[in-house]
Amino acid sequence: MPTVSFNTNFPGYDVLGEINRSNARVLKARHIATGDLVAIKHFSLNTDADTLRRFERESAIMTRMSHPNIVRVREVRLDTDLPYLVMDYVEGGSLRHLLSTQHNLPVDVTIRLGLQMLDVFRLIHTQGIIHRDLKPENILYRQLSSGELHFLLTDFGVARLHEQPVTVTGQSLMTYEYAAPEQFDNPRQIDEAADYYALGVVLYECLTGRVPFAMRDESGLVTFMNMVLSTPPPPPVLPSGEALPGSMVALLDQLLTKNCRERLHNPDVAKLALKQAEVEQLYHQQKPVSGQTVAFRPPVREKAAPEPPVRPASNTDRESIAVPRRSRSVWPMTALVGALLLTGLWVYWYFSPTASRSVRPGLAGVSRTENPESDSETFEFSDLTVSAAEKRAQEERRRQQALEAARKRYQEEVSRATKQLEATAFGGKVGFFGGVKGLSVKLNNPSAVTFKSVAVQVTYVKDNGETFKSPIMYFNNIGPGGTITRRAPDSQRGIRFSARVLRADAAPPDSLASTSSLPNP
């Protein structure tokens, strides 16, 4: 492939050719120092200074972020005549190219794609990054040695860099078919729920071969926006006519919800739905075809050789083949002795004070109970005089005791995790006559607990030691080992500042969340 003549625009790289051209141009190149193949994406900037600073900050985060389903950003240069960013080269291609050749993807491959994108969401959303332009063009893939497809997300922040308010006459570089309804009203004020809507559209298209709402030239933008804002998406139908797993249909419905506040945007819940859909799909593949029955067929024995004809036995023959009477009476006696031994053993176990012990299931008088402190099952001899209602009451009391113990342990874990939360104020500039501007607050969660909301109090202190004001900032959805940095409100007075965690609200596991809310430690 001939070398392109504009190598001078990308020092340190040897441009080999063009990969793609849409809103930006993507080039295939080789890093001269290492020999690594890379992809260079260059574009012309037409945006305001605030958006440019935000993109630079997110790009800096992306260069430090490492995840197996994220295309690594090696370098970002926005201060040149031809701004560009350099990423790892992915040899497979884009999901768009895959759909253009295969029309749609199998259910199991689509589930694999969804699980990997949810893992990406878990990481970037805790860092305060919203992709804003999730679509097949921005999902790349490579084929593993096992034959499975490995998907990677790319183009972080590029959509936000290009984004402009949507008008009928203006043009926005966001992709309409994958944009959440709230992106049409105020594209700058969106949260992670917009990424989950786009994921729902991508999964819908992978399964059916089409998007829920298509942008057609003859209908116009206004008509398309009205459909997205008010019309329910058509039920997803596989081209093969087979039924989709029920959990997948329910998940798509929750991801494509119009109201962003009601839309599913929890990676754990979405992952559970995809795993359930995977189980349902495997079960469907193993079921017999409708109208057929699978009957058990015993093994066919080989035909024995025909026996010779039996002649009438003489008296001599009868004497030679007669079974002795003593041998014939041994078996009943043996059975009787065995039955007596088993009965005695059962009586001993039944009336023994240590009757409650692990035994094999299936014996008479044995009831199975679950040990809440372990994954194993134990089987106890039950009193035959206890009624069924009393047994249920006992089981319910044991379940409640186990639940209370689990809740107590989780409360203790949350209490320890809350003490580990660390809020740090940095970067503030004090004016000549006082006042703090440009202050940032970083919240670090080194624990293994997920907090759905953390309140951090920022204090501005005047030169005489008095507190001028103490605003409260809220950090939402910070996962284990996560860090979130936010801009603090400016202060007209004060020369010193500090930040501390005021309170935290943990996100309990599903097994505890349905019972009662956990108190703040």
Choose the most confident range, by mean pLDDT, from 88-97, 365-374, 505-514.
Answer: 88-97
Tell me the CA distances in angstroms from 324 to 313, 314, 316, 317, 330, one per residue in order: 18, 18, 15, 14, 11
Does position 499 have pLDDT exceeding 90, yes or no?
Answer: yes
Query: Percentage of residues in the chain with pLDDT exceeding 90?
Result: 32
Give the least confident one: 92-106, 137-151, 371-385.
Answer: 371-385
Give the least confident one: 24-28, 122-126, 324-328, 477-481.
Answer: 324-328
- How do residues 437-496 score in pLDDT, each as one tens digit? 889 999 999 988 888 889 999 998 988 888 888 889 989 989 888 899 999 998 888 888
CA distance 255 to 247: 12
Within 10 A of 483 (CB to CB), how many other CB atoms are there?
17
Question: Quick one: CA torsion of 225, 226, 229, 233, rounded to 10 degrees?
Answer: -100
The answer regarding whether domain 414-513 maps to CATH 3.30.1380 reads: no
Query: Percentage of residues in the chain with pLDDT exceeding 70?
Result: 68
Reference 180, options 124, 259, 235; nearest CA is: 259
Q: 1-89, which class in CATH?
A: alpha beta
Question: Residue 437, by phi and psi: left (phi above 0), alpha (psi -120 to 50) or beta?
Answer: beta
Does position 251 have pLDDT exceeding 70, yes or no?
Answer: yes
Question: What pLDDT does 237 receive?
Answer: 93
Does position 5 have pLDDT exceeding 80, yes or no?
Answer: no
Q: What are the residue ranges spanned by the domains of the chain?
A: 1-89, 92-286, 366-406, 414-513
Reference 46, options 85, 73, 78; nearest CA is: 78
Average pLDDT over residues 41-68: 68
Burial pattern 47-82, b for ≥16 Cβ within 10 A else e, equals: eeeebeebbeebbebbeebeeebbbebbbbbeeeee
Within 10 A of 183 (CB to CB), how many other CB atoms are there?
25
Higher pLDDT, 418 or 78: 418
Burial pattern 354-386, b for ≥16 Cβ within 10 A else e, equals: ebeeeeeeeeeeeeeeeeeeeeeeebebbeeee
Question: What pLDDT does 355 receive?
Answer: 45
Per-residue confidence band for 373, with pLDDT thresholds at 50, 70 and 90:
very low
The answer regarding whether domain 92-286 maps to CATH 1.10.510.10 reads: yes
Question: What pTM was computed for the model?
Answer: 0.53
Higher pLDDT, 313 or 239: 239
- How do residues 180-218 score in pLDDT, each as one tens digit? 999 887 766 789 999 999 999 999 999 999 999 988 766
Q: What is the mean pLDDT of the chain?
A: 77
Give the least confident one: 203-207, 222-226, 428-432, 506-510.
Answer: 506-510
Q: What is the CA radius of gyration of the chain?
A: 34
Q: Which residues pair with residue 475 across a beta bridge?
A: 454
The stretches of 306-422 forming alpha helices (DSSP H) are 315-321, 325-328, 330-351, 388-420
Higher pLDDT, 50 or 189: 189
Reference 76, options 118, 119, 45, 122; nearest CA is: 45
